[in-house]
Amino acid sequence: MVDSYTIQISSNLINQLAADENKVKKRNKKPKPKITEEPHQPENNVKPASSSQQSNPVGVWPVQPPPVFLPIPSPPPVAISELEAIRSVLQESERTLEKLEKKEDKMIQELNHRAKELRDKEFKLPYQNATPCTVEKDSCLKCYKEHAGDPLKCAQVVKSFADCARQARLQATSRVEK
């Protein structure tokens, strides 16, 4: 059995957590050391410092000399022959790149041509015989349109269409049997 707990967060809890966080931040700050300067004495009252005393008064930071920047030695000059060798290699690689790009263009054209051929072969319908008796069918429909009120006048046209259809069926069955 799993025990379930619910936690309710109120605005008072959020305020208390925020107040505690501010207190923690205030406690973590370290006080800055105070630098006290001794009163400035006129120059004529300056006493030479003895070797046992420090040269800087207590609490005053010593003045550091400015950093010295040393010049960075430049690399030795590259020989002219090395530059020429690099240039010739670069030119040769550019020529090779051009040849490869031309070859790529030819290959893409060939690939597209072959893909088109395959597509044409795949989706091309096989040779189909023309629908038999289309002429007789068209003449039959035309006759019915002309003699809509008296369809018996088209009997001869309908008979020729039926004969043509019968012959077409016989030819189709004879091809299947062979």
User: Mean pLDDT of successive 10-residue segments in the chain (178 residues)?
Assistant: 70 79 57 58 48 55 77 67 86 95 96 91 71 91 93 94 93 78
**How much is the pTM?**
0.30
The pLDDT value recorded for residue 53 is 47
Q: How far apart are CA 15 and CA 111, in angstroms?
A: 71
Give the DSSP letter of residue 92. Answer: H
The pLDDT value recorded for residue 58 is 64
Domain locations along the chain: 79-124, 134-177
The pLDDT value recorded for residue 52 is 46
